[in-house]
Amino acid sequence: MDRLNQSFLDALKAALCNQNVDWGSPLSPQEWRSLFQLARIHSVLPLVYEAVYSCPAAQGLEPAVLQPFKTQAIQTAVLQTVKTQDFLQLEQSLEAAGVTPLVVKGLICRSLYPRPDLRPSSDEDILIPAGQFSACHAAMTAQGLEPLEPEQNMEAAHEVSYGKPGSPLHIELHKSLFPPESEAYGEFNRFFDGAFDRAVTETVHGVSVPTLGYTDHFFYLICHAFKHFLHSGFGIRQVCDIVLFANAHGSAIDWSAILKQCREIHAELFTAALLQIGRNYLNFDPEKACYPEEWRAIQVDAAPMLEDLLSGGIYGSADMSRRHSSNITLNAVTAGKKGKRSGAPILRTVFPSAKHLERRYPYLKRRPYLLPAAWIDRIFHYGKELKSGSSNRASDAIQIGNRRIELMKQYGIIR
């Protein structure tokens, strides 16, 4: 592992342990910039900055090198504090209105960090029981939130996004944890049948917050990372969340049930690799997490997984070519589920389905028959990108996608 990635992981581990790094050897100004840029790509800049700014290696460094990253780290942390306060107020309002959502990921994971608001969240996710959408929608709009896609068929959608004018708060309201129509991971929803009956309550800043039971929540964190891995990647922050959750709630997690469910979706090697990364480079404590022998006995090489997630950034968004490579990997996974080969990656990448293009071309939701027009526009933009040498090239997306298919085969995801 090169010095940059090792330094990044050292800093992140220190942050998870509420410590500072103790680097004696100095880093060059460019190495410092590269370190903070990597932290920014993984959306952990406040955590990394807090762990390194006062270490011996930073002494004597020109303030101009650190100042831009210090400013951004502070702004991100302050913004997260505001979002957390606004969300907790909303949670209390929903409870008063008789709505009973479960909070998943963001707030619950942040509360596990030594300094929660140093772990940023772009949005907050809530899962509502069947039949509560209308009441939840009314309660949220009464609090000033507005749907971000007002033309969306909100009654039919499995997920509806809300924002609040004048506030950084962004809510993802889920009727199911995964899109049911997805051939690659829609089936994951079955594992969470009855989740509301197994719910628990956590106290965050003095507010009671209903959330998934510990086994459900841990498996959901795994499935969420796995879903993004099938697309273009997921980044180190999700590994931190999984590690901290295991350390905090391992005694309440049914590890045998987790292993059984992981095997059903071909994610046992994937999960074992994440926890091995957590043990080797972060602060995963197998004893504290009550990590059983049946899991420890799984043999897996985590190095390729670590390389992939470090290069991909948060949710595999390091560059657009990598994002577009998800068309190839998802096609391979879906084909594998059907017992078929992955097909022609170039054609599937340049000519994806309407579902894959809806975010870029929203009109396809209402007029799917316009898919050929979207294909033509896509080909036109690919041609311009190839000439301009941008980071969004079809050839790069195909290369990344094929490489990541081999990685999925290595971890038993594609058989």
Residue 321 to residue 401: CA distance in whole angstroms:
9
* Residues 98 and 207 occupy one common structural domain: yes
- Domain at 154, CATH number: 3.30.460.40
pLDDT tens profile 369-409? 777 777 677 666 655 554 444 445 566 777 888 888 999 99
Task: Examine the fold and report which residue of 163, 185, 212 is the final residue of a domain before the chain moves on.
Answer: 212
Residue 85 lies in a domain: no
Residue 336 lies in a domain: yes
Picking from 223-237, 322-336, 376-390, which range would have the lowest pLDDT averaged per residue?
Answer: 376-390
* Residues 132 and 173 occupy one common structural domain: yes
Q: Give residue 332's domain range.
A: 319-410
* Residues 186 and 276 occupy one common structural domain: no
* Residues 235 and 274 occupy one common structural domain: yes
Residue 203 lies in a domain: yes
pLDDT tens profile 114-142? 999 999 999 999 999 999 999 999 999 99
Number of structural domains, the chain? Answer: 4
Residue 312 lies in a domain: no
* Residues 287 and 333 occupy one common structural domain: no
Residue 311 lies in a domain: no
* Residues 330 and 358 occupy one common structural domain: yes
Of residues 183 and 257, the one with the higher pLDDT is 257
Q: 11 and 45 in contact (C-beta within 8 Å)?
A: no
* Residues 284 and 341 occupy one common structural domain: no
Task: Examine the fold and report which residue of 263, 278, 306 is the final residue of a domain before the chain moves on.
Answer: 306
Residue 71 lies in a domain: no
What pLDDT does residue 16 have? 97
Query: CA-based angle 201:243:215, to the nearest 5?
Result: 40
Q: How confident is the model at residue 152 (pLDDT cuts 50, 70, 90)?
A: confident
DSSP 8-state symbol, 27: P
Residue 404 to residue 402: CA distance in whole angstroms:
5
* Residues 328 and 396 occupy one common structural domain: yes
Residue 49 lies in a domain: yes
* Residues 265 and 228 occupy one common structural domain: yes
Mean pLDDT computed over every residue of the chain: 88
Task: Examine the fold and report which residue of 178, 212, 246 is the final residue of a domain before the chain moves on.
Answer: 212
What pLDDT does residue 356 have? 65
Residue 81 lies in a domain: no
Virtual CA dihedral for 352, 358, 359, 361, nearest 10 degrees? Answer: 90
* Residues 251 and 137 occupy one common structural domain: no
Q: Which residues contact 91 (CB under 8 A, 6 or more apart)?
A: 103, 207, 209
* Residues 250 and 186 occupy one common structural domain: no
Q: Which helix (H) or strand (E) holds 201?
A: strand 200-204
Q: Which helix (H) or strand (E) holds 214?
A: helix 214-231
pLDDT tens profile 83-124? 999 999 999 999 999 999 999 999 999 999 999 999 999 999
Task: List phi, psi (to 5°) of 159.
Answer: -145, 135
* Residues 259 and 179 occupy one common structural domain: no
pLDDT above 70 covers a percentage of the chain that reads 89
Q: How confident is the model at residue 340 (pLDDT cuts 50, 70, 90)?
A: low
